[in-house]
């Protein structure tokens, strides 16, 4: 492979994985990361501590030959454990899928990033430069501006091929936008998040470990994912303003009272709740639409191109899928390929899919914090699983398409999911009047109708 060396901005999840994939192809790679080397320093506090890894991310890690190293860090989560508002009710597990392998995995961000950085550092083609920020690109001259964060010394690389994997706040994207080369639409969510540590109890997990726990409360929610040290990381998603809202939870008494009223079972597991609430920062969330991603020899990728809200657990998975796609395009371009063409093809191929997951991620917030409490949603979910058992290649619940079927693109999952939703609504509408809230499985007659609808529409 004779492609010119590339410079990657950011050694986060996408940048480090991409460095491994390109390095393995024999391409020389320089990675510039503004933070210190994580192999020598503790992880930042306050960023999302653990993430859900699913099939799309796993497939990309396999493409890079890294699953062996990553697997020991993974904890399986078989479904959502719903903690209903009534404190006396027993938590109920809504399985994510119906096959043994249909689970998602909790993984620590720092541990995963470290595996990726170690793998990149072990390749002779890859050079990692920590404490170095990328500040600007200039497309006509092909220059990339860097600053050494320890000394403040600036330098400029000329004739640079640059892949910006510098995250949602991308400085590279910012400089392209200022130059009028990229239009950027940032849609902030009016809800922020804050993380809490749930320590082990008597050396054991304080909650059932093989689930993603959710305390849905319609307008807001608390979730918790397990960590390998038997703790959980809980995350509160709450409006910035209002009642309840982050702005009205100012004093210790208000925080205690809110958690006691809304999340009593979780509050009982966080001994220093108020201290954590005060010291942990609230993070902002939102969706970023950028267009185009490819400007000559510069490409935006991962969150820098398409940051999304975290409610489908797909931002990292989508960023990893970006890396795998770009790697495949590089391989397909062959020895005469050139970066601007590969970048343009990547942008054309991928844009529709990331728009689709951005929409589904927003929709999933409503599902997690509210719909899981609704009888109609639960009935449709049960019917969808019933239909999947009968037509496993035709009718696949949308959640499963996104999380367990990387061979189905995000845009196809969105399209098929909408058709399936209509079919379920039609079946519901035809139930006997007054019986529509009945949770019973689809009858033989309803299944015959479902078969006709599936044959006609899917």
Ligand X SMILES: Cc1cc2nc3c(=O)[nH]c(=O)nc-3n(C[C@H](O)[C@H](O)[C@H](O)COP(=O)(O)OP(=O)(O)OC[C@H]3O[C@@H](n4cnc5c(N)ncnc54)[C@H](O)[C@@H]3O)c2cc1C
**Residues interacting with ligand X, by CB under 6 A?**
9-15, 32-35, 48, 51-52, 133-134, 165-167, 171, 193, 235, 283, 302-304, 310, 313-317, 319
- Structure token digits, residue 358: 């951005």
Task: In angstroms, give the least distance from the CB of 358 to ligand X.
Answer: 11
How many angstroms separate the CA atoms of 449 and 427, rounded? 8
Task: In angstroms, give the least distance from the CB of 448 to ligand X.
Answer: 39
Nearer to ligand X, 41 or 201 (CB): 41
DSSP string for 18-50 = HHHHHHHTT--EEEE-SSPPTTTSPPPSSS--E
Q: Which helix (H) or strand (E) is 273 found in, with range?
A: helix 273-279
Q: For residues 230 and 211, is the Cβ–Cβ distance under 8 A?
A: no
Nearer to ligand X, 217 or 306 (CB): 306
Task: In angstroms, give the least distance from the CB of 363 to ligand X.
Answer: 16
Nearer to ligand X, 15 or 406 (CB): 15
Nearer to ligand X, 188 or 334 (CB): 188
Q: Which helix (H) or strand (E) is 404 found in, with range?
A: helix 398-404
Task: In angstroms, give the least distance from the CB of 431 to ligand X.
Answer: 36
Task: In angstroms, give the least distance from the CB of 249 to ligand X.
Answer: 18
Task: In angstroms, give the least distance from the CB of 339 to ligand X.
Answer: 19
DSSP string for 78-142 = -EEEE--SSTTSPPEEEES-SSTT--EEEEEHHHHHHHHHHHHHTSTTEEEE-SEEEEEEETTTT
Find tokens 């038997």 and name the residue: 230
Nearer to ligand X, 387 or 401 (CB): 401
Nearer to ligand X, 32 or 399 (CB): 32
Task: In angstroms, give the least distance from the CB of 51 to ligand X.
Answer: 4
Tell which phi-psi region holds residue 73, choosing left (phi > 0), alpha (psi between -120 and 50) or beta.
alpha
Nearer to ligand X, 167 or 216 (CB): 167
- Identify the sign of the CA torsion 331, 337, 340, 345: negative
Residue 191 CB burial class (10 angstroms; 0-12, 13-18, ≥19): buried
- Structure token digits, residue 168: 């949602």
Please give the angle made by the CA atoms of 32, 36 and 40, to the nearest 5 degrees: 125
Nearer to ligand X, 11 or 27 (CB): 11
Q: For residues 264 and 87, is the Cβ–Cβ distance under 8 A?
A: yes
DSSP string for 409-446 = -HHHHHHHHHHHHHHHHHHHHTSPTT-TT--PPPPHHH
Nearer to ligand X, 237 or 339 (CB): 237
Please compute, for residue 76, the number of CA atoms within 13 A of its CA located in the half-sphere on the CB side: 8
Task: In angstroms, give the least distance from the CB of 320 to ligand X.
Answer: 8
Q: For residues 115 and 130, is the Cβ–Cβ distance under 8 A?
A: no
Nearer to ligand X, 135 or 370 (CB): 135
How many angstroms separate the CA atoms of 387 and 442, rounded? 9
Residue nearest to ligand X (CB): 12
Task: In angstroms, give the least distance from the CB of 70 to ligand X.
Answer: 13
Task: In angstroms, give the least distance from the CB of 162 to ligand X.
Answer: 11
Backbone angles phi, psi at 337, to 5 degrees: -65, 155
Task: In angstroms, give the least distance from the CB of 134 to ligand X.
Answer: 4
334 Cβ neighbours under 8 A, 6+ residues apart? none
Nearer to ligand X, 29 or 424 (CB): 29
């Amino acid at each position: 492979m004779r492609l010119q060396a590339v410079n990657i901005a950011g050694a986060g999840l996408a940048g480090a994985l991409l460095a491994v994939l390109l390095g393995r192809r024999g391409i020389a790679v320089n990675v510039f990361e503004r933070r210190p080397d994580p192999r020598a320093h503790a992880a930042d506090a306050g960023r999302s501590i653990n993430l859900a890894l699913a099939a799309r991310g796993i497939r990309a890690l396999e493409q890079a030959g890294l699953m062996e190293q990553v697997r020991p860090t993974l904890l399986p989560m078989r479904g959502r454990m719903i903690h209903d508002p009534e404190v006396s009710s027993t938590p109920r597990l809504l399985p994510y899928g119906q096959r043994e392998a249909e689970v998602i995995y909790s993984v620590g961000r720092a541990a995963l990033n470290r595996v990726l950085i170690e793998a990149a550092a072990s390749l002779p083609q890859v050079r990692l430069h920590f404490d170095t920020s990328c500040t600007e690109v200039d497309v006509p001259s092909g220059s990339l501006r860097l600053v050494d964060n320890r000394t403040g010394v600036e330098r400029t690389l000329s004739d640079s091929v640059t892949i910006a994997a510098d995250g949602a706040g991308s400085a590279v994207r910012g400089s392209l936008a200022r130059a009028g080369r990229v239009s950027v639409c940032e849609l902030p969510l009016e809800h922020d998040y804050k993380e809490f540590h749930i320590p082990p109890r008597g050396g054991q997990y304080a909650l059932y470990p093989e689930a993603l726990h959710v305390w849905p409360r319609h307008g807001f929610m608390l979730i918790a994912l397990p960590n390998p040290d038997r703790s959980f990381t809980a995350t509160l998603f709450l409006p910035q303003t209002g009642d309840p809202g982050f702005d009205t939870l100012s004093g210790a008494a208000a925080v205690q009272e809110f958690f006691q009223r809304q999340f009593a079972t979780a509050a009982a597991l966080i001994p220093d709740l108020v201290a954590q609430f005060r010291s942990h920062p609230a993070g902002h969330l939102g969706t970023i639409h950028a267009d185009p991603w490819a400007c000559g020899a510069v490409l935006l990728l991962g969150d820098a191109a398409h940051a999304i809200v975290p409610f489908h657990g797909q931002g990292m998975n989508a960023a990893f899928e970006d890396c795998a796609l770009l790697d495949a395009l590089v391989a397909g371009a062959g020895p005469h390929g050139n970066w601007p063409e590969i970048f343009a093809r990547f942008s054309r191929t991928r844009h529709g899919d990331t728009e689709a997951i951005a929409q589904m991620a927003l929709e999933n917030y409503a599902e997690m914090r509210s719909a899981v409490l609704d009888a109609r949603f639960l009935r449709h979910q049960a019917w969808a699983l019933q239909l999947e058992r009968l037509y496993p290649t035709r009718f696949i619940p949308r959640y499963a398409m996104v999380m367990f079927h990387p061979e189905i693109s995000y845009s196809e999952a969105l399209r098929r999911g909408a058709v399936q939703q209509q079919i379920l609504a039609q079946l519901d509408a035809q139930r006997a009047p007054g019986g529509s809230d009945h949770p019973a499985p689809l009858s033989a007659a309803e299944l015959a109708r479902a078969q006709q609808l599936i044959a006609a529409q899917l």
